[in-house]
Amino acid sequence: MRFYFSPQPFWIGDSKDTPMTGHFGLYRYCLGRGLTQTLQCEGRLDDFATIPSDAFKAATFFVGFSFLMILICIICMLLFFCVHAEKVYKICMWLQIVS
């Protein structure tokens, strides 16, 4: 199983050499202000009210939920070593129903 988790708050951006510097991600965006090109960032993961739009709020929730489901799947795989397989299959069944 292979998965990717990016701790960075932004995914798409540019460099300081472009005319309007900035970048954005799921829950945070930054824009270059003035001639100094210092970035002014808005949006925090721990405060949903600062996320720019409802679409980004929904996407942030679903990315977090999918990461939680990945962790639960890894825990279920580890349960095969210490619990009877039938119980693990029942847990995985409920996991499938929930997701």
Domain assignment of residue 33, given as a range: 12-98
- Say yes or no to pLDDT of 95 above 50: yes
The whole-angstrom separation of Cα 15 and Cα 55 is 26
Residue 23, classed as helix, strand or coil, is strand
Does some domain include residue 74? yes
Give the tokens for residue 73.
């799947």
Does some domain include residue 31? yes
Does some domain include residue 49? yes
Does some domain include residue 3? no
Does some domain include residue 86? yes
Give the tokens for residue 45.
């993961």
Residue 67, classed as helix, strand or coil, is helix
Decide which of 54 and 25 is more confident.
54
Please give the pLDDT value at position 1. 42
Q: Check: CB of residue 66 under 8 Å from CB of residue 95.
A: no
Does some domain include residue 20? yes
**Confidence class of residue 66 from pLDDT cuts 50, 70 and 90?**
confident
**Which range is least confidently modeled, 34-38, 40-44, 95-99?**
34-38
Computed over every residue of the chain, the mean pLDDT equals 77
What's the number of domains the chain is made of? 1
